[in-house]
Amino acid sequence: MFSISLKQRKIFYVMLSLVWLGTAVYSMVNDTFLHGFEILVFGAFFIGGIALVQGYMIRMLKMYDKNLKKGINNNKKSHKNNHKRR
């Protein structure tokens, strides 16, 4: 089954947050505070969006795997039942 551990996801989000935070702070210092704040807000929404999509995809893959296993088991049972009838 496809799986990404929670620890790996946390590391990914921390690293992504550091990139956005670094860019925002750099813009606040070298450009305007408002420009850096806009980058910070956009980065937060971007990371939140990625987290939502990733969570949905993981749930969808788990459901797909569960249904696939259920379908395989049902096919084996129906195949056995058809074999017994002959």
Query: Which residue ranges make up each domain of the chain?
Result: 7-79
Burial class (CB in 10 A: 0-12, 13-18, 19+), 24: buried
Q: For residue 45, which phi and psi values (nearest 5 degrees)?
A: -65, -35
Q: Is the pTM of this model over 0.85?
A: no
The per-residue pLDDT for range 45-66, each reduced to its tens digit, is 999 999 999 989 988 988 998 8
Q: How far apart are CA 43 and CA 12, in angstroms?
A: 14
The per-residue pLDDT for range 12-52, each reduced to its tens digit, is 999 999 999 999 999 999 999 999 999 999 999 999 999 99
